[in-house]
Chain A
Amino acid sequence: MSNRRPYVRSMDGWWKRDPYFIRYMAREVTAVFVAAYAVLLLVGLVRLGQGEAAFNGWLQYLKTPWMLVFHLIVLAVFCYHTWSWFNIMPKTMPIMFVGGKRVQPGAITGTGLAASVIACLAVLFIVRGMS
């Protein structure tokens, strides 16, 4: 009978203990917004299938004040989502060499963010061009 009595500390509220964890939880929560917006787009697709009137109704709905507020929030959340996604992306890549030198995590993140910005601008340009 030993005198050992290991003490296990509680994990309650663990995510509040460090700013790093709070940022992590925020990152995870952005996935909910991504899912929500996917549903919205899905609804738009369904409305498109239901004919021009239905689709126009959906477009009108998107222009209501609450939806504009929603879109602003989603834009901010998606920016954080994109930034944190590419921030963690180097961790998912194996060690790579280009021209004998090791590819740095910053290069991967930077490339990803740059690609996102270019993609967004491209979409904006196309949509502008169409309307």
Chain B
Amino acid sequence: MEVFKADVAIVGAGGGGLRAAIAVAEADPKLKIALISKVLPMRSHTVAAEGGAAAVTRPDDSLDHHFNDTVGGGDWLCEQDVVEYFVAHAHEEVVQMEHWGCPWSRTEDGHANVRPFGGMKIERTWFAADKTGFHMLHTLFQTSIKYPSIKRFDEHFCVDLVVEDGRVQGAVVIEIATGAFRLIQAKAVIIATGGAGRVFRENTNGGIVTGDGMALAYRHGVPLRDMEFMQYHPTCMPRTGLLFTEACRGEGGFLINKDGYRYLQDYGLGPAEDKPRNKFMELGPRDRVSQAYWHEQKKGRTIEGPFGSVVHLDMRHLGEAKLRERLPQIYELAEEFMGIDPAHAPIPVLPAVHYTMGGILAYGNTASSLPGLYSVGECSSVGIHGANRLGSNSLTELVVFGKVAGVEAAKYAKSVSITNPGAIEKQAESVQARALGIVNQSGGAERIAVLRTEMAKSMESGCGIYRLATDMQATCDKIGELRQRYKKLKVEDQSKVYNTDWLLAIELGYLLDVAETIVHSALKRKESRGSHQRLDGYEQRDDANFLKHTLAYYNGDSPPRIEYGDVKITKSKPGTRAYGAAGVKADEERKKQGAANG
């Protein structure tokens, strides 16, 4: 097997991976970086992010505001010291992106513009039209070309990490074009492989978002944290699940039910006003807005469409000029995919799975419990999103923690050496045998598409916006059954050149493992918090018992072992999550209390 000797290997070349690679290169140009991606870097799903990247900018804004918005938005399940670091470094990172050429949208006088976003008290979301993720990804990719120490392995599929002597020492990849295996030897490995939304049926995610890195770290003993918290984005296209950015609401769009009524005011997000008001109505946090849809549906006030019940995203009052200028991609999506002109008709939307709040347990410096292994981005749980992520925090997360991961991994790589390359190569050989085993195994008759569809349907019913113990248990059983049936998979394609069938089979393995952590974590969390909401006796938040992180540990063929970890609280004691008028009142009371405590 061909061996490439790197100092730092990065698995995943999206926003987080690219930023980390640049950080390593800038920390020490002599370090050899292997940047591994199963697709060309500009195909990474960062490209689909639309709305923006949050960073405290305006003089009337403050780090404390961003901190409180994030911690409250996460329903107090955030690691508050990490959030403090995050909000403090957001601005410098978006400025760094600008210096690298990111075409941020501007005010008339040439400064970067900011727009309102859900759950944010003051406008702080930097944006590049409605294609922020696209522009950030391309800026990072094109900038990364400047650094000769970054060697890219495009279209190389990672099948396993190599852990030797208690630390990670490399990764084994398949060169997709030829089917050849390669060992990437490395002293530090950063995982930046994205989320796992494809375990669900309707989702905004691209085909590649299959939880690869999460599964790899998990199988090597690193816990996956807070996996039960899956974000439903409230405004997605029916059937395909394609995303209509939150910026539609930030620019002033309304969500209305079948009576043309802005129903969010019935769910603690009101009162309704004509102009968008931060943390009110449509600018409430995503979990609340998605949950409101669910209630409206139960009340029979949603509109029945060919692909399920929908509500209407009404932007007609914004006018065509503003829509084409501020939301050009949305306009195109509505017109080309749905035949709807948003300036003249409302868009039918419904919630779909969008973001994985949980992931590989990462400390504030992005390191994990496995020495040499770091993680960044949606695949990691570094502790800033808690039980519900605020929109525009995750693009900022990529650049803030991408840099941290790069710097830390570089430091670590310089402090260790590879002492037993023979043992690593031997492990790589057995990884190769296992990966080939999937395509070569005989006697099975299970089909990839069948197992995948059963998994996705079951996850949708068990881990929806509102959850019941019976449904969750049924899904636990189903996923367990699917994991067994997976061993009897029949892979049709036996070729070596671009055998995508084989890779889909390996991805299915990752999806099933991650799905199991999600549903078991959900079943065991007997409370409702953020985006994990139950209707079976556990409708309230239970800080006494569950102000804790869920940790899912790999347990071979058996379901994951669920344990719990503490939450780091510094400045913000758990309070009521209040938005709309109630939120304003809660803020005032908190201020009064703060003054009283002096």
Q: What 0/1 readout, one digit per residue, does chain A (1-27) give for beta carbons within 8 Å of chain B? A: 011110000000000000000000000
A2 to B499 Cα, complex, angstroms? 13
Q: What 0/1 readout, one digit per residue, does chain B (174-189) give for beta carbons within 8 Å of chain A? A: 0001111000000000
Chain B residues near A5: list those with CB within 8 A. Answer: 497
In the assembled complex, B496 has its CB within 8 A of some CB on chain A? yes
Q: How far is the CB of A2 from chain B (nearest CB, A)?
A: 4
A69 to B496 Cα, complex, angstroms? 64
Q: How far is the CB of A49 from chain B (nearest CB, A)?
A: 60
Q: How far is the CB of B429 from chain A (nearest CB, A)?
A: 19
Residue on A with the closest CB to B175? A2
A4 to B179 Cα, complex, angstroms? 10
A2 to B497 Cα, complex, angstroms? 8
A3 to B178 Cα, complex, angstroms? 6
Residue on B with the closest CB to A2? B178
A2 to B175 Cα, complex, angstroms? 10
Q: How far is the CB of B155 from chain A (nearest CB, A)?
A: 12
Chain B residues near A4: list those with CB within 8 A. Answer: 177-178, 497
A2 to B178 Cα, complex, angstroms? 6
Q: How far is the CB of A104 from chain B (nearest CB, A)?
A: 14
Q: What 0/1 readout, one digit per residue, does chain A (79-114) give for beta carbons within 8 Å of chain B? A: 000000000000000000000000000000000000
A5 to B178 Cα, complex, angstroms? 10
A3 to B498 Cα, complex, angstroms? 10
A3 to B179 Cα, complex, angstroms? 9
A5 to B496 Cα, complex, angstroms? 12
Interface size class, chain B: under 10
Q: How far is the CB of B349 from chain A (nearest CB, A)?
A: 32
Q: How far is the CB of B266 from chain A (nearest CB, A)?
A: 44
A6 to B497 Cα, complex, angstroms? 10
Within 471-505 of B, Cβ neighbours of A (below 8 Å) are at 495-497
Chain A residues near B496: list those with CB within 8 A. Answer: 2-3
A8 to B497 Cα, complex, angstroms? 16
Chain A residues near B177: list those with CB within 8 A. Answer: 2, 4
Q: How far is the CB of A7 from chain B (nearest CB, A)?
A: 11
A4 to B495 Cα, complex, angstroms? 11
Residue on A with the closest CB to B178? A2
Residue on A with the closest CB to B498? A4
Q: How far is the CB of B22 from chain A (nearest CB, A)?
A: 31
Chain B residues near A2: list those with CB within 8 A. Answer: 177-180, 496-497
Q: How far is the CB of B125 from chain A (nearest CB, A)?
A: 27
Chain A residues near B180: list those with CB within 8 A. Answer: 2
Q: How far is the CB of A102 from chain B (nearest CB, A)?
A: 12
Q: How far is the CB of A66 from chain B (nearest CB, A)?
A: 53
Residue on B with the closest CB to A5? B497
A33 to B467 Cα, complex, angstroms? 76
A47 to B177 Cα, complex, angstroms? 69
Chain A residues near B179: list those with CB within 8 A. Answer: 2-3
Chain A residues near B495: list those with CB within 8 A. Answer: 3
Q: How far is the CB of A95 from chain B (nearest CB, A)?
A: 15
A3 to B495 Cα, complex, angstroms? 9
A54 to B318 Cα, complex, angstroms? 73
Q: How far is the CB of B494 from chain A (nearest CB, A)?
A: 12
A83 to B178 Cα, complex, angstroms? 50
A84 to B536 Cα, complex, angstroms? 71
Within 439-476 of B, Cβ neighbours of A (below 8 Å) are at none
Q: How far is the CB of A101 from chain B (nearest CB, A)?
A: 12
Chain A residues near B497: list those with CB within 8 A. Answer: 2-5
Chain B residues near A3: list those with CB within 8 A. Answer: 178-179, 495-497
Within 164-181 of B, Cβ neighbours of A (below 8 Å) are at 177-180
A5 to B177 Cα, complex, angstroms? 10
A5 to B498 Cα, complex, angstroms? 12
A5 to B495 Cα, complex, angstroms? 13
Q: How far is the CB of B56 from chain A (nearest CB, A)?
A: 32
Q: What 0/1 readout, one digit per residue, does chain B (239-265) give for beta carbons within 8 Å of chain A? A: 000000000000000000000000000
A2 to B495 Cα, complex, angstroms? 12
A80 to B496 Cα, complex, angstroms? 52
Residue on A with the closest CB to B177? A4
A4 to B177 Cα, complex, angstroms? 7
Within 154-213 of B, Cβ neighbours of A (below 8 Å) are at 177-180
Q: How far is the CB of A109 from chain B (nearest CB, A)?
A: 22
A4 to B178 Cα, complex, angstroms? 6
A4 to B499 Cα, complex, angstroms? 12
Within 318-346 of B, Cβ neighbours of A (below 8 Å) are at none
Chain A residues near B178: list those with CB within 8 A. Answer: 2-4
Q: How far is the CB of A5 from chain B (nearest CB, A)?
A: 8
A3 to B180 Cα, complex, angstroms? 10
Residue on A with the closest CB to B496? A3
Q: How far is the CB of B493 from chain A (nearest CB, A)?
A: 13
A42 to B178 Cα, complex, angstroms? 63
Residue on A with the closest CB to B495? A3
Q: How far is the CB of A97 from chain B (nearest CB, A)?
A: 15
Q: How far is the CB of A90 from chain B (nearest CB, A)?
A: 20
A2 to B177 Cα, complex, angstroms? 9
Q: What 0/1 readout, one digit per residue, does chain A (36-79) give for beta carbons within 8 Å of chain B? A: 00000000000000000000000000000000000000000000
A5 to B180 Cα, complex, angstroms? 15
A33 to B496 Cα, complex, angstroms? 55
Q: How far is the CB of B294 from chain A (nearest CB, A)?
A: 45
Q: How far is the CB of B154 from chain A (nearest CB, A)?
A: 15
Q: How far is the CB of B270 from chain A (nearest CB, A)?
A: 40
A90 to B261 Cα, complex, angstroms? 48
A8 to B430 Cα, complex, angstroms? 37
A87 to B186 Cα, complex, angstroms? 56
Q: How far is the CB of A111 from chain B (nearest CB, A)?
A: 25
Given contacts A2-B180, A3-B178, list 6 more A-B pairs with CB under 8 A: A2-B177, A2-B179, A2-B497, A3-B179, A3-B496, A4-B178
| B residues neighboring A (CB under 8 Å) | 177-180, 495-497
Report, nearest first, the 3 A-B pairs whose CB atoms are least far apart: A2-B178, A3-B496, A3-B497
Name 9 A/B residue pairs within 8 A (Cβ), A-sorted.
A2-B177, A2-B178, A2-B179, A2-B497, A3-B496, A3-B497, A4-B178, A4-B497, A5-B497
